[in-house]
Chain A
Amino acid sequence: MAGADSDDSLYPIAVLIDELRNEDVQLRLNSIKKLSTIALALGVERTRTELLPFLTDTIYDEDEVLLALAEQLGNFTMLVGGPEYVHCLLPPLESLATVEETVVRDKAVESLRKISHEHSPVDLEVHFEPLVKRLASGDWFTSRTSACGLFSVCYPRVSSTVKAEIRQHFRTLCSDDTPMVRRAAASKLGEFAKVLELEYVKSDIISLFTALASDEQDSVRLLAVEAGVSIATLLPQEDLEALVMPTLRQAAEDKSWRVRYMVADKFSDLQKAVGPEITKNDLVPAFQNLLKDCEAEVRAAAANKVKEFCENLPEDSRETIIMTHILPCVKELVSDTNQHVKSALASVIMGLSTILGKDNTIEHLLPLFLAQLKDECPEVRLNIISNLDCVNEVIGIRQLSQSLLPAIVELAEDAKWRVRLAIIEYMPLLAGQLGVEFFDEKLNSLCMAWLVDHVYAIREAATGNLMKLVEKFGAEWAQNTIVPKVLGMANDPNYLHRMTTLFCINALSEVCGQEITTKHMLPVVFKMSNDQVANVRFNVAKSLQKIGPVLDSNCLQTEVKPVLEKLASDQDMDVKYFAQEAISVLSLA
Chain B
Amino acid sequence: MAGAGGGGNDVQWCFSQVKGAIDDDVAEADIISTVEFNHSGELLATGDKGGRVVIFQQETENKSQSQFRSEYNVYSTFQSHEPEFDYLKSLEIEEKINKIRWLPQKNAAQFLLSTNDKTIKLWKISERDKRPEGYNLKEEDGRYRDAATITTLRVPVFRPMDLMVEASPRRVFANAHTYHINSISVNSDNETYLSADDLRINLWHLEITDRSFNIVDIKPANMEELTEVITAAEFHPHQCNTFVYSSSKGTIRLCDMRASALCDKHSKLFEEPEDPSNRSFFSEIISSISDVKFSHNGRYMMTRDYLSVKIWDLNMENRPVETYQVHEYLRSKLCSLYENDCIFDKFECCWNGNDSVVMTGSYNNFFRMLDRSQRRDVTLEASRESCKPRQVLKPRRVCAGGKRKKDEISVDSLDFNKKILHTAWHPQENIIAVATTNNLYIFQEKVN
Instruction: Identify which of residues 18-66 in chain A touch chain B, using a CB-to-CB cut-off of 8 Å.
Output: 18, 20-21, 41-42, 46, 50-51, 53-54, 57-58, 60
A10 cross-chain contacts in B, Cβ below 8 A: 150-153
* Interface 9-residue window, one of A119-127, A212-220, A231-239, A359-367: A212-220
Cβ of A295 and Cβ of B261 under 8 Å apart? yes
Can you list 16 A-B pairs with a CB-CB distance of less than 8 A?
A2-B153, A10-B150, A17-B154, A21-B132, A46-B153, A46-B155, A53-B158, A57-B130, A100-B124, A178-B190, A180-B191, A217-B189, A256-B241, A257-B260, A295-B260, A296-B260
Cβ of B155 and Cβ of A14 under 8 Å apart? no
Q: Does B149 contact A (CB under 8 A)?
A: yes
Cβ of A219 and Cβ of B189 under 8 Å apart? yes
Cβ of A179 and Cβ of B241 under 8 Å apart? no
Instruction: Identify which of residues 109-142 in chain B touch chain A, using a CB-to-CB cut-off of 8 Å.
Output: 109, 111, 124, 126, 128, 130, 132, 135-138
- Cross-interface CB contact of A294 among B153, B154, B260, cutoff 8 Å: B260
Known contacts: A2-B151, A140-B106. The answer to whether A257 contacts B261 by CB under 8 A is yes
Whole-angstrom CA separation of A4 from B150 in the bound complex: 10
- Cross-interface CB contact of B258 among A4, A21, A140, A218, cutoff 8 Å: A218
Whole-angstrom CA separation of A42 from B128 in the bound complex: 28
Q: Does A115 contact B (CB under 8 A)?
A: no
Q: Does B318 contact A (CB under 8 A)?
A: no
Cβ of B158 and Cβ of A54 under 8 Å apart? yes
B163 cross-chain contacts in A, Cβ below 8 A: none
Known contacts: A60-B126, A257-B258. The answer to whether A41 contacts B153 by CB under 8 A is yes
Q: Does B22 contact A (CB under 8 A)?
A: no
A142 cross-chain contacts in B, Cβ below 8 A: 106-107
Known contacts: A6-B149, A257-B258, A257-B259. The answer to whether A57 contacts B158 by CB under 8 A is yes
B191 cross-chain contacts in A, Cβ below 8 A: 179-180, 183, 219
A295 cross-chain contacts in B, Cβ below 8 A: 259-261
The A-B contact count (CB < 8 A) is 122
B241 cross-chain contacts in A, Cβ below 8 A: 218, 256
Whole-angstrom CA separation of A373 from B401 in the bound complex: 76
Q: Does B91 contact A (CB under 8 A)?
A: no
Cβ of A17 and Cβ of B150 under 8 Å apart? no
A269 cross-chain contacts in B, Cβ below 8 A: none
Q: Does A247 contact B (CB under 8 A)?
A: no
- Cross-interface CB contact of A178 among B104, B126, B138, B261, cutoff 8 Å: B104
B207 cross-chain contacts in A, Cβ below 8 A: 102
Q: Does A358 contact B (CB under 8 A)?
A: no
Cβ of B261 and Cβ of A18 under 8 Å apart? no
Whole-angstrom CA separation of A140 from B109 in the bound complex: 10
Instruction: List 18 additional contacts besides A178-B104, A179-B191, A180-B106; criterion CB under 8 Å.
Output: A14-B137, A17-B153, A42-B153, A46-B153, A53-B157, A54-B132, A54-B156, A57-B158, A98-B107, A100-B106, A140-B106, A141-B106, A142-B106, A179-B190, A217-B240, A218-B241, A255-B258, A297-B261
A183 cross-chain contacts in B, Cβ below 8 A: 191
Instruction: Identify which of residues 180-222 in chain B touch chain A, using a CB-to-CB cut-off of 8 Å.
Output: 188-191, 207
CB distance from A493 to the nearest CB of B (A): 36
Cβ of B150 and Cβ of A6 under 8 Å apart? yes
Q: Does A185 contact B (CB under 8 A)?
A: no
Cβ of A140 and Cβ of B107 under 8 Å apart? yes
Cβ of B137 and Cβ of A18 under 8 Å apart? yes
B158 cross-chain contacts in A, Cβ below 8 A: 53-54, 57
B106 cross-chain contacts in A, Cβ below 8 A: 100, 140-142, 180
CB distance from A299 to the nearest CB of B (A): 11
B2 cross-chain contacts in A, Cβ below 8 A: none
CB distance from A253 to the nearest CB of B (A): 12
Total interface residues on B, CB under 8 Å, equals: 42
Cβ of B151 and Cβ of A5 under 8 Å apart? yes
CB distance from B169 to the nearest CB of A (A): 12
Cβ of A2 and Cβ of B152 under 8 Å apart? yes
CB distance from A90 to the nearest CB of B (A): 18
Whole-angstrom CA separation of A258 from B259 in the bound complex: 9
CB distance from B142 to the nearest CB of A (A): 12
Q: Does B297 contact A (CB under 8 A)?
A: no
Q: Does A7 contact B (CB under 8 A)?
A: yes
Map CB proximity to B onto A132-157 as digits: 1 under 8 Å, 0 otherwise.
00000000111100000000000000
Cβ of B138 and Cβ of A18 under 8 Å apart? yes
Whole-angstrom CA separation of A508 from B147 in the bound complex: 62
Map CB proximity to B onto A499-527 as digits: 1 under 8 Å, 0 otherwise.
00000000000000000000000000000
**Residue picked from A3, A13, A100, A142, most chain B C-beta under 10 Å:** A100
**What are the 5 closest A-B residue pairs judged by CB atoms, nearest first?**
A256-B258, A14-B136, A2-B152, A50-B155, A57-B158
A180 cross-chain contacts in B, Cβ below 8 A: 106, 190-191
Cβ of B151 and Cβ of A20 under 8 Å apart? no
- Cross-interface CB contact of A42 among B151, B155, B260, cutoff 8 Å: B155
Whole-angstrom CA separation of A54 from B105 in the bound complex: 27
Residue of A at shortest CB range from B133? A21
Instruction: Identify which of residues 90-108 in chain A touch chain B, using a CB-to-CB cut-off of 8 Å.
Output: 98-100, 102
Q: Does A449 contact B (CB under 8 A)?
A: no
Residue of A at shortest CB range from B155? A50
B138 cross-chain contacts in A, Cβ below 8 A: 18
Map CB proximity to B onto A235-279 as digits: 1 under 8 Å, 0 otherwise.
000000000000000000011111000000000000000000000
A255 cross-chain contacts in B, Cβ below 8 A: 258
Residue of A at shortest CB range from B105? A140
Q: Does B88 contact A (CB under 8 A)?
A: no
Cβ of B136 and Cβ of A216 under 8 Å apart? no
Cβ of B107 and Cβ of A21 under 8 Å apart? no
Residue of B at shortest CB range from A103? B207
Q: Does B239 contact A (CB under 8 A)?
A: yes
Q: Does B223 contact A (CB under 8 A)?
A: no
Q: Does A164 contact B (CB under 8 A)?
A: no
- Cross-interface CB contact of A51 among B124, B135, B136, B155, cutoff 8 Å: B155
Cβ of B128 and Cβ of A218 under 8 Å apart? no
Whole-angstrom CA separation of A5 from B156 in the bound complex: 22
Whole-angstrom CA separation of A100 from B154 in the bound complex: 31
Cβ of A218 and Cβ of B156 under 8 Å apart? no
Whole-angstrom CA separation of A11 from B257 in the bound complex: 61
Q: Does A15 contact B (CB under 8 A)?
A: yes
Map CB proximity to B onto A142-177 as digits: 1 under 8 Å, 0 otherwise.
110000000000000000000000000000000000
A217 cross-chain contacts in B, Cβ below 8 A: 188-189, 240
Residue of A at shortest CB range from B146? A6
Known contacts: A5-B151, A140-B106, A179-B189. The answer to whether A15 contacts B137 by CB under 8 A is yes
Residue of B at shortest CB range from A138? B107
B154 cross-chain contacts in A, Cβ below 8 A: 17
A2 cross-chain contacts in B, Cβ below 8 A: 151-153
Map CB proximity to B onto A198-209 as digits: 1 under 8 Å, 0 otherwise.
000000000000
Cβ of A100 and Cβ of B107 under 8 Å apart? yes
CB distance from B207 to the nearest CB of A (A): 6
A51 cross-chain contacts in B, Cβ below 8 A: 155
Whole-angstrom CA separation of A98 from B107 in the bound complex: 7
Residue of A at shortest CB range from B132? A21
Cβ of B156 and Cβ of A14 under 8 Å apart? no
CB distance from B237 to the nearest CB of A (A): 13
Map CB proximity to A onto B252-280 as digits: 1 under 8 Å, 0 otherwise.
00000111110000000000000000000
A178 cross-chain contacts in B, Cβ below 8 A: 104, 190
B151 cross-chain contacts in A, Cβ below 8 A: 2-7, 10
Cβ of B156 and Cβ of A60 under 8 Å apart? no
Whole-angstrom CA separation of A54 from B241 in the bound complex: 44
Whole-angstrom CA separation of A142 from B189 in the bound complex: 14
A294 cross-chain contacts in B, Cβ below 8 A: 259-260
- Cross-interface CB contact of B156 among A3, A17, A257, A296, cutoff 8 Å: A17
Residue of A at shortest CB range from B164? A60
A57 cross-chain contacts in B, Cβ below 8 A: 130, 132, 158
Residue of A at shortest CB range from B239? A216
Cβ of A13 and Cβ of B153 under 8 Å apart? yes
A297 cross-chain contacts in B, Cβ below 8 A: 261
Cβ of B155 and Cβ of A258 under 8 Å apart? no
Whole-angstrom CA separation of A11 from B124 in the bound complex: 37
Instruction: Identify which of residues 279-320 in chain A touch chain B, using a CB-to-CB cut-off of 8 Å.
Output: 294-297
